[in-house]
Amino acid sequence: MKIFKYILFSTLAVSLFSTCDDEKIDPEAGNGSFVVEFDNYVGSTDMQLDPAGSTDFRYATASGQQFNVSTFRYYISNIKLEGPDGAMFEDEMNVSANADEVAGYYLVQESEASSQYITLDNIPEGNYDKVTFTLGIAEEGVQQGAAGGILDPAEGAWFWNWNAGYISLGMEGTAADSPQQKVEGDGFIIEPKTFSLHVGGWKDVDPDDNFVNNIKTVTLDLGSAVTVSDKLKPEAHIVFDMLKILDGASVDFSQTYAVHAPRLGAPLAEEIPNAFIVDHVHQ
């Protein structure tokens, strides 16, 4: 009888425990790792940053407009790997006020080399030939409320207050044709001829609403299958070409030099899936 009670109560305890515990242990989680490297390019050259307002123009659009880049940053989330034989991996996603508990969201910044390497762990052993990811922070990320770490605006997250959501992709620099005048505000200066293209907007909660959703999901073939095991940690080298966005959207810096709302950013967002290329994979 005592033993019966014990079993009953411990079963109850376990079931109560499991209903409150958010972190589920996936029985299929493996112990392999995979590295995704995001390497930013402008056309055929590796991106180099210049100070805002610099008139040293390294790059040119297809229409010949000269420009350089001072800031290039974007959020990657919801990374998935798939293989030809059914192997599957989905990165764990979590939003929390505790920065250490934020998972599955990555801020890639050209100014910070370490941010360009995303290491995925707990991957089941197997062959993988496809990677899928989201550029931006979709509804699930915003609607969990205030978050820490790379999602904390006080620590460098780019967030729109008035139309609440994260800026998916920020591209800033200087362009010979930009009509931007110098602006000196409280604690900030906008240099002349700069451009500031911020792509954001995640809302399409109700189909009757007129929102612009600029969250884009990208799926890339790795070209050949790579093997994940406890000894093999493959790496996919992915190139993000800013010029494909500018040229794909036919950006004319004399017109398009300040984008700070979803609708104006939509043509740029449309080009995001075309701007990522798998350069190569290392086994």
Partner 1 sequence: MWAGKSVWLACLFFLFSCQSDDLEGIADKSYVFVKPPNFPEPTYTFDNNPITEKGFKLGRKLFFDPLLSRDGSVSCNSCHIQATAFADGQQHPMSIGVDNQQGIRNAPSLTNLAFMREFFWDGGVTHLDFVPTNALENELEMDESLGNIVDKLNQHTEYPALFKEAFSIDTITSPYMLHAFSQFLVMMVSANSKYDKYMRNEGEELTNEELEGLRLFEEKCTACHDGTLFSDFSYRNNGLSATFSDEGRARITEHPADQGKFRVPSLRNVARTAPYMHSARFQTLEQALQHYAIGVVDSPTLDPLLKNERQRGIPMTEEEQSKIISFLRTLNDYEFVADQRFMNTSNP
Q: Which residues bind partner 1 (CB under 8 A)?
A: 2, 5-6, 9-10, 12-13, 16-17, 19-20, 22, 95-99, 142-148, 151-155, 159, 161-164, 186, 203, 205, 209-212, 261-264
Q: Which is nearer to partner 1, 197 or 242 (CB)?
A: 197
- Quote the least distance from Cβ 188 to partner 1, whole Å: 11
Q: Which is nearer to partner 1, 113 or 154 (CB)?
A: 154
- Quote the least distance from Cβ 203 to partner 1, whole Å: 7
How many other CB atoms are there within 10 angstroms of residue 104's CB atom?
18
Phi/psi of residue 62, each to 5°?
-60, -30
Q: Which is nearer to partner 1, 164 or 232 (CB)?
A: 164
Tokens of 186: 């409280």
Distance of CA 216 to the CA centre of its chain: 10
- Quote the least distance from Cβ 138 to partner 1, whole Å: 13
Q: Which is nearer to partner 1, 9 or 183 (CB)?
A: 9
The CA distance from 240 to 175, in Å, is 20
Q: Are 53 and 146 in contact (CB under 8 A)?
A: no
- Quote the least distance from Cβ 102 to partner 1, whole Å: 9
- Quote the least distance from Cβ 143 to partner 1, whole Å: 6
| Residues 6+ away with beta carbon under 8 Å from 168 | 74, 75, 135, 136, 137, 199, 200, 202, 214, 215, 216, 269
Q: Which is nearer to partner 1, 263 or 280 (CB)?
A: 263
- Quote the least distance from Cβ 95 to partner 1, whole Å: 7
The CA distance from 81 to 129, in Å, is 8
Q: Which is nearer to partner 1, 4 or 27 (CB)?
A: 4
DSSP E strands, 3-109? 32-42, 45-46, 59-60, 66-82, 88-90, 105-109
Q: Are 202 and 165 in contact (CB under 8 A)?
A: yes
Tokens of 201: 């907007």
